[in-house]
Structure 1
Amino acid sequence: MTNRSSDILKKPDWCFNRSIYKSAGYSETDLDRPIIGIANAWNELVPGHTNLRQLADHVRKGIHMAGGTVAEFGVIAACDGTAQGHAGMHFILPSRDLIASDIEVMVEAHRLDGIVLLGSCDKIVPAMLMAAARLRIPAIFLPGGPMLGGVESDGRKSDLTTMSEGLGMLKSGRIDEATYGNLEESCGPTCGSCAFYGTANTMCCMAEAMGMSLPGAALVPGVYNDRLRLGEATGQVIVDLVARNVTADNIITFEALENAIRVLMATGGSTNAVLHLTAVAAELGISGAQMMDAYDRLSASTPQVAKVNPASKYDMEDFHKAGGIPRVMQAVATLLHGDCLTVSGGTVTENLEGYRYKFPPNPEVIGSMDRPFGEQKGLAILRGNLAPATAVTKPAAIDPAMHVFSGVARVFDSEEAAEEAILAGRIEEGHVVVIRYEGPKGGPGMREMFKAMKYLYGMGLAKKTALITDGRFSGTNNGCFVGHISPEAADGGPLAAVRDGDRITIDIPAGKLELHASDTEIAERLEKWSRPAPKFTRGYLGIYAHLASSAADGAVLRVPEEAC
């Protein structure tokens, strides 16, 4: 097979290009080998990425050992946690599509032969998978690994989200300032993606489940030496993938995405995975409707066989030691497409048959289909007169007593307004907090209602209230919540018609999200509605708000039909 890079490096016609590479320090021998990119999201701002420089050195070692030439470049990576609760959160989801395009530009402009994708956090991981699917070249994803848990708090090891829960406890007098101050020093003791099963770790697990990472790669903690050995192995594997011309679209198929959905449901992963897997699928021409149908269909027949924080006291290190994604996939093997190809060169079935576990099983973390933690859906798709194009919730993180909840609407047109009301004590038992104009266009950027849910938890209202939104949630949220409501309010969806005092019912078993108003009443209200002015008209957010599609379609960027 002729390498892609050879197309622009052959003598004598392409000697100009060769001279550019040599100006960067490459040798004659380097240019005769396949040129492997490393898209490295290392920076000094995101704890999930601060170890990627060291990890990249081991990937480089593996590439050199296997006979490849390394071409490393940087990729932006913003931290969801740092961006929570202020204007910076508008940029987080939009950064996903920017990163995917950034990688696409670098790979295509330099005709790289293959790509190793190094990242760990919420939007960076799906962005990298989107880029791989779009480019359709040999690619492999390697996460930096999760963080270790912190000091015990409220009956479990603490993590970075403990600070938001703790603020609610502090405000309500459940803890004192000294205890709260100590948490700041001890809840995030190491580098790595956050120690709970939020979006970051969920998406790393999804990458492994769909075959884009080596078996076991998702959950080895960032401070373990096994993470460095995975780096070296990943570097060797990408050279082999290039030699055999195994491209990302050979691996990311609809069947592989279904495997990922099965694992998502079996582990009770983040609701954001619905948004991101749909976006990855869109790169392959798979529609949002087809993906939503798959979530609905597969969730109904996938028992929850793993239970980790926020659904239990066990964190990501515990999940890894219990066997991680390989043991989960073994537990639900009869539900998987075992013949799907993976980056290891083996099929799903072959990988599971040959996998060697380093720790004994822990049935309190990973169970079996015979003895699942629950028959309820890990995630659920809801429809109804408030969500004609679907909404998403997470039954695995909701107390079963709250799976059907009916209450009185308290309506807020921004995340900040809702948070202020919660901390001021204006939300009471029986309220349904409605946060709208926070969707892909309206936000813009579909911010996470992370703090709002954590404040309700801290105020002791998590099992007495509900929250619905056209925005998103963090994977660590619990309580009764529904997000991704589509169409969003800014697009004239029914959520824009809700008023204070309306009654709303969430019925997860029935898959319903309903406003207690007639179709005529809703239509009359929407006739009087006017679209709010865009919050941003300049810069990247102005572009994103104009081009972002519905959450039901993955919130991917699309050229408006009138421009075609």
Structure 2
Amino acid sequence: MIRQWNEESMDHRNTLLYAMGISPEDAARPIIGLINSWNEMNPGHFPFKDVIAEMKEEIYKAGGLALELPITGVCDGICSNTPGDRYTLPARDLVSSEVETVAELNMLEGMIIMATCDKVVPGMIMGALRVDIPTVMLTGGYMAAGHYKGKMLTLTHTKQAYAAYIAGDMSEEDYKGIVRNACPTPGACPFMGTANTMCAMAEVLGLSPHGNASVRSQTPRWHEMAREAAEKVVEAVKEERRPSDFIEQKSFENVVRYMMATGGSTNSLLHIP
């Protein structure tokens, strides 16, 4: 066990777990936190509610007890070009503190951190590296591309379309049509912006399942990865394998090489250090 409990403290905790219907037998299992940033204001994080039950099932079969712990998950796009932009980078450090707090306060044996978007992925990784308990990350997969009048669209096309509309080069009907069709499904905005760049960082660091950063959200393969993450975190708990056992200085140097090779987001300069 990663954590050291005395009998009185363990019994005091278990009394409170019993209040929520957890049996004495289940309370004796290693508790794995599902650190979930799901909310209804962030399409990148919206899919996570679909896999909670699956991950709980896999963790239980492997001998653990998964308990969900929700934390902040902001979307940079929601507040774009508004006063809310002032809050996105500070939100990263808020997230890192939340991860650290829920992991240490609850004396978790391990955790799955669940995030997709620009500031939340690096924030969760920062918190996980501070806590240094067995951790696996699941990222939310990418959004499907949109289409309008035969052309492929992503979120960035809405800004281009607005400029054309204001300049008088595009009709209001076409502008609104692009806005309506640019983001057809949940997931990370499907271009190499900060969200997908950070999801790739998590994978390159060895925190998320192989291929997680390049899988479409809500697909059968993405659901398989959620179950894989659940299996891997219990393995890590049993082996007491911490992030510091495999993430080193050279790991971050490898991330920098990946960013340079793929044209990753320049926001990497804010997050990797």
Q: TM-score range by the shorter chain?
A: over 0.9
Question: What secondary structure, in the 3-state scheme, does the structure 2 residue paired with 1:42 have?
Answer: coil
In structure 2, distance between residues paired with 1:250 and 1:98: 25
Residue 86 of structure 1 corresponds to 82
Structure 2 residues without counterparts, runs of 5 or longer: none
Question: What secondary structure, in the 3-state scheme, does the structure 2 residue paired with 1:82 have?
Answer: coil
Whether 1:70 aligns to 2:50 is no
Higher relative contact order (Cα pairs below 8 Å, separated by 6+ residues): 2
CA deviation string 1:328-369 (max 9, x = no partner): xxxxxxxxxxxxxxxxxxxxxxxxxxxxxxxxxxxxxxxxxx
> TM-score, normalised to structure 1's length?
0.47
Correspondence 1:275-354 to 2 at 5 A? 275-278=270-273
What RMSD over aligned residues (CA atoms) do the two structures have, in Å? 1.5
CA deviation string 1:267-314 (max 9, x = no partner): 000000121111xxxxxxxxxxxxxxxxxxxxxxxxxxxxxxxxxxxx
Correspondence 1:432-447 to 2 at 5 A? none
1:212–1:251: 8 Å Cα contact kept in structure 2?
A: no
Give the structure with the larger helix fraction. 2
Task: State the AA in 2 paired with 1:276.
Answer: H
- Change in Cα spacing, 1:131 to 1:261, as seen in structure 2 (3 Å) is same
Residue 235 of structure 2 corresponds to 240
Question: What secondary structure, in the 3-state scheme, does the structure 2 residue paired with 1:157 have?
Answer: strand
Residue 24 of structure 2 corresponds to 28
In structure 2, distance between residues paired with 1:40 and 1:174: 43
Correspondence for 2:249 among 250, 254, 258: 254
In structure 1, distance between residues paired with 2:244 and 2:75: 29
More displaced 10-residue stretch of structure 1: 55-64 or 141-150:
55-64
CA deviation string 1:488-510 (max 9, x = no partner): xxxxxxxxxxxxxxxxxxxxxxx
CA drift at 1:156: 5.5
Q: How many residues align?
A: 273
Residue 98 of structure 1 corresponds to 94
Residue 172 of structure 1 corresponds to 167
In structure 2, distance between residues paired with 1:45 and 1:244: 37
CA drift at 1:162: 1.2
> TM-score, normalised to structure 2's length?
0.96
- Change in Cα spacing, 1:22 to 1:197, as seen in structure 2 (3 Å) is same
In structure 2, distance between residues paired with 1:262 and 1:144: 23
In structure 2, distance between residues paired with 1:13 and 1:191: 42
Whether 1:159 aligns to 2:154 is yes
In structure 2, distance between residues paired with 1:202 and 1:13: 42
Residue 198 of structure 1 corresponds to 193
CA drift at 1:58: 2.0
CA drift at 1:262: 1.1
Whether 1:51 aligns to 2:47 is yes
In structure 2, distance between residues paired with 1:80 and 1:158: 19
Task: State the AA in 1 paired with 2:159.
Answer: S
Whether 1:184 aligns to 2:206 is no
1:136–1:249: 8 Å Cα contact kept in structure 2?
A: yes
The structure with the largest alpha-carbon Rg is 1
In structure 1, distance between residues paired with 2:230 and 2:218: 19
Question: What secondary structure, in the 3-state scheme, does the structure 2 residue paired with 1:202 have?
Answer: helix
Question: What secondary structure, in the 3-state scheme, does the structure 2 residue paired with 1:80 have?
Answer: coil
Residue 211 of structure 2 corresponds to 216
CA deviation string 1:54-92 (max 9, x = no partner): 122222122112111112110111110111111111001
In structure 2, distance between residues paired with 1:230 and 1:63: 13
In structure 2, distance between residues paired with 1:80 and 1:12: 45
CA drift at 1:14: 3.5
In structure 2, distance between residues paired with 1:248 and 1:11: 28
In structure 2, distance between residues paired with 1:271 and 1:58: 35
